[in-house]
Chains A and B, each alone.
Chain A
Amino acid sequence: MRSRINLSKLRYNYIPDHILGEVLTKRWADNIVPITVFAITVVILANLIPGFLSPQSLSDAGRQMGEFLIIVCGVSIVMIAGGIDLSVGSIYAICALIAVAVVNLLEWPVPIALLISVLVGSLFGALNGYLIGYLKLRAFLTTLITFVIGRAIYDIALDYLGTPIQLSWVDSALWDFIGDGSVGLIPVSFIFATIVLVVAHVFISRSRRGWHISAIGGSRRSAFNTGIDVKKVVCSTYVISGACCGIAGFLFGARLNGTGPGTGIGLEILVLTACVVGGISLGGGRGSIAKGVLGGLIVLTINNSLIRMGYHSGTNQMVLGIMLTLAVILDIRWLRNRHKVLDKVYVAPVYTSMNEPVSALPEDKTVYALNSRLSETELIGAGEVEGPEDVILDHDDHLYCGSRHGDIVRFFAPDYKKWEVFVHIGGFPLGLAFDRNQTLMICVGAMGLYSVTPDRQVERLSAETNRSYLSVIDDARLRDPNDLDIGTDGKIYFTDSTTRYDAHEWAIDSVENRPTGRVLVYDPKTGKTRTLLRRLNYPNGVCMAHDGESFFFAESWECRVNRYWYRGAQAGRLETVIRDMPGYPDNINRASDGCYWMAWLGMRTPTYDLMLKKPGARRRMTRRLPQDDWLFPNINTGGVVKFDEKGNILEALGDLGGKHHPMVTSMREHKGYLFVGGILNNRIGKLKLSDADPAWTSSTSYWGASD
């Protein structure tokens, strides 16, 4: 039994399953497959072909690669816009022939040859673009026709120009340098390619037109509706593709100083395979130049290596075909199922063993025994305020709370019948605290730490802390800031409950039970936030102890309360003061008698405790059941518990029928009354405390009597 538990712990707590889900949330995740394929290909080929990785071999490969990648780049742009270009092989051949002819027969300068070559390529592209973009012909058929016609033109031209070119002889150092030269070991054509690729990458990912291209690929109709000139943009992608063929053709001409009947044949399949293998979606809208380059590297490396290994060209075609098929299948399946996969794999539960709690059943008469006192509260804002996670009162007894709409709502004393939206912040305002000047400090779920002055000036204090080096998810951002309190040193101590889930998914964090929460400290002097404690299991409420040197904080999913000393002789000490509670603790606040109030957001259930020991079962549950059917902690029953400095439990209040307060996330004592809030409730409760100091307020307890 024990070994089984250890095994389960080993499996689920030390193998970082959660990273898979985190990686999948990243946009670069798609590139992992082609990169892996490329790495494997290189390793295999390096073993099969002697000298595969030698500088000379790489340099030779690079020369051809340059031309190829330029064409891939052009086709990538066409495909990102949702099109396809089959005519690249023909255009490439024609451009190569023209470049050679210009240099050899006309004996014009080499740069002019490049210009003419690009111009001709662009013209062919423009023909494609006009037919497809403006006349709305099918891209596949149109470019197929251009492909056939282009080939015919090339063959005819070759008949006339082939022999004169072969007989001519030109002496141009620049022409030879572009064809054969290298800068160091890097071939010139590769340098050309690098320039083209960098420009194209910046164009696609950073420029307005580039974004328009992606937008059209993603949804042509929506792009049109947002005012993008779809016809023009689509047309331009083919022009770009044609121009790229022009550059590549020019480089080919320079390399071989001539063309043959086989030039550019089968190129379109190679290029198309490269794009798809790289992960550019055939449907458009999803892809990048980097993906195209990756695919190009894979395809050309395999292709050339097969030739070097002496395989028949049929084998070569076959391998390409198989790769294309696999890539297309993967592309379609992945595109359709990516979000489903993410949904399924994101929750990665860990093994947690909870100790048997003390019973809270009323008939067991323990210290925790819940009663129904909270069902006697007088209701404030019932049905009007939604989600008051925390409540607080100011000098004039006005009552403040957050709402799930991102507002801070203020109820006016003395009867709290009238209310107003004090300020609108956004996010989900959670924990509240007043500083010495009656400025309201707020933890806003999904946003960060904010302050609101009495004259309603909202200021963002902090939205990030230091990033840890090994986290896939950006844990610098504050994801679920939950509760805060202000220390005697003027710093704000607050909790960020989880780095894995957003504020509204807080309860799902319990199903996973992975301790990723943190206690942070914000220093108003420097404006910087620092991580104080990490790896906590949903740290929640924070409350300064009366000693002025330490604070209590609740760790919800562990059902315990810790105390941390932030200054004084014991600075840095962390101690658990209450453990194994039957309920999940939330906010903690001071009581008038020197003790502390703690809210219970829900109760532990035997089945859920057992489920926590079964990470595998929980994992299957999250994959096989819709979320509504998942087993949850019982957050339909909550309570308020009072404890002293030592952690002794003095009193427990509940609402067993769930009449007024099915769950409680906060309470605030003020002038003999207890104000009760709950994140999933639509009301605030006001309960008369019989034995409380009727003059005591939280603000005077912190900052002394107000003037």
Chain B
Amino acid sequence: MIIDEFFDRCLERIRTKAIVVPPLDGAMRPNNLLDESEVILGGIKCPDNAIVINDELWFSSKNQLFKLNVDARSDPQLIEGFEADISCMAASPDKGIAIGLEDARLLTGRTEGQALVDLVDHEALGCPSAMTFSSDGRLLVCQGSKNIENPTDMTRDLMQHGRSGSVWTHDFATGERSCIARNLGYPYGIVALSHSDEILVSECWQHRIIKLSLQGNRKPEAVFNDIPGYPARMIELSNSGLMLCLFAPRNRLIEFVLREHEFRKQMIDTIDPAYWIAPTLKSTQNFLAPLQQGGVKVMGIHKPWAPSLSHGMMVRLDQSQSPVESYHSRANGQRHGITSCCQIGHRIFATSKGDDCIIELSMNPGGQA
């Protein structure tokens, strides 16, 4: 095994340097389930980080916090607006809420009906990208990167080969804050597994999910490698499986650009980030966005399997973190940039940050949440 790896490493220098990405096969086989799923809320700007409080769906949209009753089919209710955009949120079992803002503020409070009460400002933490509460009431926060100001700028971190992300625990009782993992490639999703002190973190730029211990005394262990996309938030399902959101696909051209240092530096320096060769959230962009040959519309058709900088994808994992099934919106789809999801009862909802809507997943006949 070790010898094999050694040989591989030696041979890599001699072999043609073909750039490959993991294939979408097996449980990852593409389908159109995301496009076929029902939109329960459309026309909302960049919905992100859905959480569940009191069986209601709370989500952020830019700098605003909304609440949506998924059964009533009513308009979402505005809870509060902040000065800066909300970058992540978490709900605790006792109706508590934690909010990370793009200006590095970290708020905690409680929810009461339509309002947030007892909001407390905590010590600032730059670039919070995901958070959750552990079973013992501590707050776990992912810091995406030390090198960028806020998560909106995350592709810059990717293009700079960012490996400065970290995971922190926050004990409100003692006010103690400690780091349990560092030097991560943009941690963008976190789950504290129930019935254990293990934490799963999605490491975006490394395309993997790693397992940490709450005490921070264990080396991160990769439990799901070679994910064919950029993993974002994940949640633990009621059957102790996981639901993982991938906000963009892996793309060979992006991987190529990541190895082209001169080109990449000049791209960062001279081009608007919206037009970079980098993962994006939106399915439609204007004509200044890069195009790959496979993405050329021929005879009015945009091939679903065309290389794309964005897509929509969710993967259900079993208890051992192996993929079981997946939900896709392919290159020609319109539910791209899925960044978070939540479960209410047996129903699963997801936010399409790229295409401005919240959808309810129509599950596969075989799949049960």
A interface residues, Cβ below 8 angstroms from B? 360-361, 370, 383, 386-387, 507, 603, 605-608, 610-611, 614, 617, 620-621, 623-637, 656-658, 662-663, 680-683
Contacts and interface: CB of A to CB of B under 8 A. Distances in A.
Contacts of B176: none
Contact of A607 (B16, B284, B290): B290
Given A628-B293, A629-B252, A680-B296, A610 B267 contact: yes
A300 to B, nearest CB: 36
Given A361-B288, A632-B296, A607 B276 contact: yes
B172 interface: no
B222 interface: no
Nearest to A606: B271
Contacts of B295: 632, 636
A628 B286 contact: no
Contact of A631 (B19, B262, B277): B277
B299 A624 contact: no
Contact of B299 (A608, A634, A658, A681): A681
Interface of B: 16-19, 251-253, 256, 260, 262-263, 266-267, 270-272, 275-277, 284, 286-300, 306-307
13 contacts: A507-B293, A507-B296, A605-B287, A607-B271, A614-B262, A614-B263, A628-B293, A629-B251, A629-B293, A632-B293, A634-B291, A635-B296, A680-B298
A640 to B, nearest CB: 14
A637 to B, nearest CB: 4
A513 to B, nearest CB: 15
A603 B299 contact: no
A657 B300 CA distance: 12
For the complex of A and B, 10 pairs with smallest distance between CB atoms: A628-B294, A637-B287, A682-B299, A603-B287, A629-B252, A606-B271, A607-B290, A634-B291, A662-B297, A617-B263
Nearest to A621: B256
Contacts of B294: 628-629
Contact of A634 (B266, B289, B298, B300): B289
A603 B296 CA distance: 12
B302 to A, nearest CB: 8
B287 A634 contact: yes
B16 A624 contact: yes
Contact of B18 (A361, A624, A630, A683): A624
A628 B253 CA distance: 10
Nearest to A382: B300
A360 B16 CA distance: 40
Contacts of B277: 607, 631
Contacts of A623: 16
Contacts of A610: 263, 266-267, 270-271
A175 B270 CA distance: 85
Nearest to B274: A606
A682 B253 CA distance: 29
Contacts of A635: 291, 296
Contact of A606 (B17, B275, B284, B306): B275
A631 B290 contact: yes
A677 B296 CA distance: 16
A663 B299 CA distance: 10
Nearest to A344: B16
A154 B157 CA distance: 82
B291 A636 contact: yes
Given A630-B253, A632-B293, 18 more contacts: A360-B287, A361-B288, A507-B296, A605-B275, A606-B272, A607-B290, A610-B263, A610-B271, A614-B260, A620-B256, A621-B256, A624-B19, A627-B293, A628-B306, A636-B287, A636-B297, A657-B284, A662-B300
A20 B252 CA distance: 27
B293 A630 contact: yes
A603 B263 contact: no
Nearest to B291: A634
A591 to B, nearest CB: 24
A249 to B, nearest CB: 49
A480 to B, nearest CB: 18
Contact of A628 (B16, B263, B287, B307): B307
Contacts of A360: 287
B228 to A, nearest CB: 14
A620 B257 CA distance: 11
Contacts of A383: 300
Contacts of A617: 260, 262-263
B307 A605 contact: no
Nearest to A661: B300
A605 B19 contact: no
Contacts of A631: 253, 277, 290-292
A614 B286 CA distance: 24
A123 to B, nearest CB: 52
A634 B291 CA distance: 5
A629 B307 contact: yes
Contacts of A608: 290
Nearest to A600: B287
A398 B303 CA distance: 33
A629 B299 contact: no
B286 A632 contact: no
B297 A611 contact: no
Contacts of B306: 628
A657 B302 CA distance: 13
A662 B284 CA distance: 13
Contacts of B276: 607
A658 B252 CA distance: 25
Contacts of B256: 620-621, 624-625, 629
B266 A629 contact: no
A636 B296 CA distance: 6
Contacts of A630: 253, 292-293
Given A610-B263, A683-B300, A603 B252 contact: no
Contacts of A633: 291
A553 B317 CA distance: 59
Contacts of B298: 680
A620 B259 CA distance: 11
B25 to A, nearest CB: 17
Nearest to A662: B297
A534 to B, nearest CB: 28
Contacts of A606: 270-272, 275, 288
Nearest to A383: B300
Contacts of B271: 606-607, 610
B299 to A, nearest CB: 4
Contacts of A370: 287
Contacts of B16: 623-624
Nearest to B298: A680
A601 to B, nearest CB: 11
A111 to B, nearest CB: 60
A182 B276 CA distance: 76
B252 A626 contact: yes
B65 to A, nearest CB: 30
B292 to A, nearest CB: 5
A495 B276 CA distance: 34
A180 B244 CA distance: 89
A637 B286 CA distance: 9
A658 B296 CA distance: 11
A626 B262 CA distance: 22
A628 B288 CA distance: 19
Nearest to B278: A607
B307 A680 contact: no
A242 B318 CA distance: 73
A687 to B, nearest CB: 18
A628 B292 contact: yes
Contacts of A625: 19, 252-253, 256
A611 B271 CA distance: 12
B44 to A, nearest CB: 21
A614 B16 CA distance: 20
A347 to B, nearest CB: 12
A620 B260 contact: yes
Given A620-B260, A634-B288, A656-B286, A682 B293 contact: no
Contact of A682 (B17, B290, B300): B300
